[in-house]
Chains A and B, each alone.
Chain A
Amino acid sequence: MASTGQQTTSLKRRDSLVTREGDQLIITPLGAGNEVGRSCVYMSYKGKTVLFDCGIHPAYSGMAALPYFDEIDPSTIDVLLVTHFHLDHAASLPYFLEKTTFKGRVFMTHATKAIYKLLLSDYVKVSKVSVEDMLFDEQDILRSMDKIEVIDFHQTLEVNGIRFWCYTAGHVLGAAMFMVDIAGVRVLYTGDYSREEDRHLRAAELPQFSPDICIIESTYGVQLHQPRLIREKRFTDVIHSTVAQGGRVLIPAFALGRAQELLLILDEYWSNHPELHNIPIYYASPLAKRCMAVYQTYINAMNERIRNQFANSNPFDFKHISPLKSIDNFGDVGPSVVMASPGGLQSGLSRQLFDKWCSDKRNACVIPGYVVEGTLAKTIINEPKEVTLMNGLTAPLNMQVHYISFSAHADYAQTSTFLKELMPPNILLVHGEANEMGRLKQKLISLFADRNTKIITPKNCQSVEMYFNSEKMAKTIGKLAEKTPEVGENVSGLLVKKGFSYQILAPDDLHVFSQLSTANVTQRITIPYSGAFGVIKHRLKQIYESVGSSTDEESGVPTLRVHDRVTVKQESENHISLHWTADPISDMVSDSIVALVLNASREMPKVVVESEPVVDEAEEEKKAGKIIHALLVSIFGDVKFGENGKLVISVDGKVAQLDKQSGEVDSANEGLRERVKTAFRRIQDAVRPIPLSAS
């Protein structure tokens, strides 16, 4: 059936024949659709718009790294939710906030916000793009900080009727999964998540409520992770044997997130192995050093283990690890372990050390996390014979390369159990390479074969449309609800909508159940009139059906009650007053009385005796018929007289027949029928005299 869901506030009524726009939910990945990087997912339902994440693509630079913002109108977005601080989820935020028309609200968790600023300032400093290509500068970041609001885990907020809250995602400190509820339809956006508890983070929570749509990452597709402890053992073994043989270990890692986890592992391992105490561990990242205060503070976002350790001493006060400012401060004598950023070995310190160490076979490079396509780290995983150095020369790759994934993304086992428990009817895969995503999709399809689960893998800018037929429920309260009505009875009252909840109540109750209030406006107007009061009475009687006369109790002056609405009172010799309660009909009646009184005083001398007009019923009917016809033509265009005095209205090939006597409309098209009916009713109201019982 065709119907409109949601009325917009604009007075232009949506054509009920065409759209179900209101019930349509659109999700469009602006980035991270069939790719990893520049996460940004657009969602719109019932005129409310949410944007999840706002990242950049680490393999591109300048404008090319941005998500496809051109696809949307930033000014229409109500809420922007950022899941965590990684560049591919948050780094286009300053651009989006400062350089576009976006005027909604932005939310992220406390820890994310604190690190976001440090991370992006660093990003601005490090990235070596030309000034024109700069997406934003330090000032933009500082300004964006003022606009970003914070949300705590589980805290429920409501903006513009959009309700949302977040769950722990486990990926990095402060990482969140957002659940958005618009008019009862729930969408879960996981961002990057991990269901495995590690040394400092909690595992991603399982939401209490099953969402209608789950937008989930698919970075690792159908791969399975090794158990964490085996990974840790491999990691420490490789490092131990390398340094024992006098080699150097390079761990290219992104400065934040996994790096802290690895440092916790190394610090603990070193504590347990006194023979290693003379071998230094460095983390060569001033950024990580700066962020340490954040890690030391937001203990409450971490797991029980850290919180319990915190009771004794802060676990992020490392005993065997020292920060390294730059390569110039680095002696490089003998074995050492250096953790340096960036993780992809694109440039910077990790690349400098790599260039220095790659040709010595005693050395080792441990790649601890997911590496993005197109970076050197991805290349060396395949162990080529030679690599190209920063200065353009080639060098043999002799150092051992180990890939031990610590990246806190869900693997297939986690993803499938998560989805099985959550049971969302619609699953949208994002944040994964096309191939991995395809494999995951196939596997999930077979997993959920017996259920009606839709699994969708949209590409960037490819919109997914879904329909949710949400029932609108209203609560009738107060005086109107004193008795629950039977079928067939009428209910009339104010329909009050706030967010997506509806209430029906009597006008008198409005102030009780909402912050709105109603008012009565009493009007009193005085008109100079020096004639006889009787004249007015006489004239009014000619026009109005009901003119009651009495005398005012206080002053004893004669009064008239016209149409049960307006009181006319003779205030003095020279004035009469009109007194009524404002209301469109009363206003009209009073206007006519004013006109009449003015006329009467002007035409004072004349005594107009009007002959009682003979009302020709048939003539009247004919006149009304003409008017109705003319008005219908002005609305619908093609209106013809049909059989039995019916009117035939045709719009766009659809035909409706209107019976003028009964108001019955006959049409195959329900939408048209309703519209003709409504139009006819309103025309009827306009051409007939106002019934006395209107009040």
Chain B
Amino acid sequence: MGTSVQVTPLCGVYNEDPLSYLVSIDGFNLLIDCGWNDHFDTSILHPLSRVATTIDAVLLSHLDTLHLGALPYAMKHLGLSAPVYATEPVFRLGLLTMYDHYLSRKQISEFDLFTLDDIDSAFQNITRLTYSQNYHMTGKGEGIVIAPHVAGHLLGGTVWKITKDGEDVIYAVDFNHRKERHLNGTVLESFVRPAVLITDAYNSLNNQPSRRQRDQEFLDAVMKTLRADGKVLLPVDTAGRILELILILEQYWAQHHLTYPIFFLTYVSSSTIDYAKSFLEWMSDSIAKSFEHTRDNAFLLKHVTLLINKSELDNVPDGPKIVLASMASLEAGFSHDIFVEWAADAKNLVLFTERGQFATLARMLQSDPPPKAVKVTMSKRVPLVGEELIAYEEEQNRMKKEEALKATLIKEEESKATIKAELPVGDAMVIDAGTTHTSSDAAVMHGDAYRDILIDGFVPPSSSAAPMFPFYDKSSEWDDFGEIINPDDYVIKDEDMDQAFMPVGGDIDAKFDEGSASLMLDTTPSKVVSSELTVQVKCSLIYMDFEGRSDGRSIKSILAHVAPLKLVLVHGSAEATEHLKQHCVKHVCPHIFAPQIEETIDVTSDLCAYKVQLSEKLMSNVLFKKLGDYEIAWVDAEVGKTESDMLSLLPLSNPAPAHKSVLVGDIKMADFKQFLASKGVQVEFAGGALRCGEYVTLRKVGDASQKGGAAAIQQIVIEGPLSEEYYKIREYLYSQFYSL
């Protein structure tokens, strides 16, 4: 029997909630994705909280909150402590995305689900992999190999391939087969016949216009507004699709020498672009190529101004401009504030480039017809003044005092304990000679220890930490050759110098832009003030699909091509999931699963397999025929055993029984028609059959549309009267196959 595989969705099935799935392979629990929504709604994490402690590894596929947002919270509060695996861009830009979310939230609420430190410590656990790197799990997961592959959609986006004993489980959500400006298309199609494929139904009902047409419409809409003296707001994500949008605008501006200013406003915008500049190896071939040839980094932006603070935007003279601001949901962040300011002006345009998450302001505005007015909560963090400030300070002082009190108590406890511990030792003069030689900084470190030195016959009062000036005698030992020296003392300490030379890198390079840093480190007491107001939505609202996901039709054809033995559908509205399920049952494979939340499904393959050794004797008599990537032969063998008790195949001792011959090959009628035509045979399609020459007809019978799993053996019928032509065409037909 094959490897046991179970899938349990924890979030994000039959709806568009964040993604989070538990995949258990022979008892090794992998959490794939750990998403959260823009509301940071803890209720959707309940299923995760129940299993968090049993998880052995976490795999992240994309850098947005829907795929990794809950990681800091789960690590801090739910007891998730497994190692995390992701690609470098998912790690770096995911970190920035989380920072941006935190800072945006903190501005408008007393956000306490996780802190910046929690984000840092959660991301510290991440092991970074490169595309197609086979990472071998150790310990409990021995034998499991994970490998990230290109998914398209977002920078560093990953299709995970998990392999055990030659069986592949593939997790592919939000992939994009189309090549874009900054990303290559997914390589999902290069995997064929995996044992299990887990994919999403998110876009199965969607159809997209061609990229060229969509880009044109986008630019037209933007230009129309700008020319009419309007302002354009693009609510975007922090570090994902924004890169594509920036490239589109940047290129268009460069081509047409436009001067309308473009602003990219998030708390981490400059870091985002800096990192994007150093991620060229993760981007599309064309970006890499242009860099190799001309050393022009595509993200060396000439027309886009990076802002990290809204006040900078307010200083810009009024006039037509484009602002790309986070969050895409309009629930928080700069985009929210800007929307409130600009919505009332009919000249302005708010252009959504992705579908808003469910129950967000963005989603509301995308509904058809758009609402005339929306209620929004305006929240603002203001410094405390007057009585509040005094109250706050008092509170702080009280807390400080308490802490100080606690600290002294603890210290006393400790000193008592050490004194007690030291007392029975008695001879306090014995001090390790080694410590006396250490460099000055080491001495400082040891300083504390000297405080506890006791002098014979003098018992210090327990309250005094240092009974006298710490003095220690340099005791030296002698042997026949004189004073014993420690050769280590004379070695130049590399490590010490290293530290002196290299500024310690710090745990994680939490790079904040100065503005945000000041904001975070700002200890000025502040509070959040909220007010509700109704905003008249007069500006134009447009939604265009720049999500960078494959559309319904492509998903179907990709699935048919990949043809998994078992298919698990997740993430997508109920209709979309149901639609794709129906489609796939007919055209992909009969084993389709669409589990509910916390429903565990068993997708263990019912495959039988055993391993045998191929003996040299057998192999020397095998004639392989080459067919594309494959070489194929018929073997008749007898089972034997090797010394190491393996099954081994030996040549038959008696003549092999004849076997039914097998024709191997895939024939396409259209191709065969071409082939015959090239051989000078008159061919045409007539009534579903291929008429060859005057009399012979060739037909393919059986359900040809059924690809993959159920694809039975092809049935081809050749009919005709006895004639030379018949034999000739049969000869050509045979030439398309290998007979074994």
Contact = CB atoms under 8 A, between A and B. Distances in A.
Interface string B612-624: 1110110111111
Contacts of B489: none
A585 B660 CA distance: 10
Given A519-B713, A674-B620, A165 B133 contact: yes
A477 interface: yes
A527 B625 CA distance: 35
A263 B172 CA distance: 45
Given A9-B626, A492-B637, A497-B632, A117 B293 contact: yes
B279 interface: yes
B637 A9 contact: no
A518 B733 CA distance: 14
Contacts of A476: 609-612
Given A150-B288, A487-B641, 20 more contacts: A13-B623, A145-B292, A298-B280, A307-B509, A471-B613, A472-B619, A475-B612, A476-B610, A478-B608, A481-B610, A488-B639, A490-B636, A493-B635, A496-B630, A497-B631, A497-B633, A518-B662, A519-B737, A520-B663, A663-B655
Nearest to B722: A527
B740 interface: yes
Interface string A1-21: 101110101010100100000
A149 to B, nearest CB: 10
A228 B494 CA distance: 9
A79 B166 CA distance: 26
A156 B711 contact: no
Contact of B609 (A3, A477, A510, A514): A477
Interface stretch (A323-331, A341-349, A366-374, A500-508): A500-508
30 contacts: A5-B616, A7-B619, A9-B626, A152-B130, A229-B494, A294-B295, A297-B297, A300-B88, A310-B278, A311-B511, A473-B614, A475-B611, A475-B612, A478-B608, A481-B609, A488-B638, A492-B636, A492-B637, A496-B631, A510-B662, A517-B665, A518-B662, A518-B713, A519-B664, A521-B733, A522-B718, A524-B720, A527-B721, A674-B621, A681-B656
Contact of A155 (B130, B652, B718): B130
B396 to A, nearest CB: 32
Interface in A484-498: 484-498
B557 to A, nearest CB: 16
A536 interface: no
Contacts of A110: 280-281, 288
A113 B625 CA distance: 38
Interface string B688-732: 000000000000000000000101011111111110001000100
B640 interface: yes
Contacts of A674: 617, 620-621, 651
Contacts of A152: 130-131, 281
B611 A114 contact: no
B407 interface: no
B718 A523 contact: yes
A514 B708 CA distance: 10
A45 interface: no
A497 B628 CA distance: 11
Contact of B147 (A16, A156, A519, A521): A156
Residue of B132, B609, B628, B667 with highest tally of chain A CB at under 10 A? B609
Contact of B607 (A477, A516, A523, A525): A477
B252 interface: no
A391 interface: no
A317 interface: no
A386 to B, nearest CB: 38
Question: Interface size class for chain B?
Answer: 35 or more
Interface string A294-322: 10011110001101101110000000000
A4 B620 contact: yes
A450 interface: no
Given A156-B147, A674-B621, A525 B291 contact: no
A307 B654 CA distance: 68
B279 A300 contact: yes
Residue of B612, B622, B633 with highest tally of chain A CB at under 10 A? B612
A-B pairs, 9 with minimum CB distance: A311-B511, A311-B509, A154-B133, A3-B616, A308-B505, A519-B714, A481-B608, A472-B614, A497-B631
A525 B720 contact: yes
A298 B166 CA distance: 35
A515 interface: yes
A484 B647 contact: yes
Interface string A120-156: 0000000000000000000000000100001011111
A474 B136 CA distance: 22
Contact of A594 (B129, B131, B722): B722
A473 B619 CA distance: 11
A72 interface: no
A508 B711 CA distance: 10
Contact of A491 (B498, B629, B639, B733): B639
B639 A304 contact: no
A502 B511 CA distance: 51
A478 B715 contact: no
B153 to A, nearest CB: 19
B686 interface: no
A494 B719 contact: no
A520 B711 CA distance: 13
A642 interface: no
B634 interface: yes
Interface string B305-321: 00000000000000000
A2 to B, nearest CB: 9
Given A145-B292, A154-B129, A522 B666 contact: no
B235 to A, nearest CB: 27
Contacts of A237: none
Interface in B259-312: 271, 274, 277-281, 288, 291-293, 295, 297
Contacts of A304: 505
Contacts of A507: 660, 662, 740
A517 B666 contact: yes
A11 B631 CA distance: 13
Contacts of A508: 713
A185 interface: no
A526 to B, nearest CB: 5
Interface in A103-122: 110, 113-114, 117
B501 interface: yes
Contacts of A232: 501
A489 to B, nearest CB: 5
Given A153-B130, A473-B611, A486-B639, A229 B711 contact: no
B419 to A, nearest CB: 42
A605 interface: no
Given A495-B635, A685-B655, A584 B665 contact: no
Given A7-B619, A582-B663, A473 B638 contact: no
B661 interface: yes
A293 B297 CA distance: 9
B492 interface: yes
B716 A519 contact: yes
A578 B626 CA distance: 33
B635 A490 contact: no
Given A487-B640, A492-B659, A522-B717, A155 B133 contact: yes
A511 interface: yes
Interface in A444-492: 471-479, 481-492
B397 interface: no
Given A155-B130, A229-B494, A663-B655, A521 B620 contact: no
B658 interface: yes
A618 interface: no
Contact of A516 (B131, B630, B633, B739): B630
Contacts of B629: 498-499
Nearest to A526: B721
B492 A491 contact: no
Interface string B122-165: 00000001111110100000000001000000000000000000
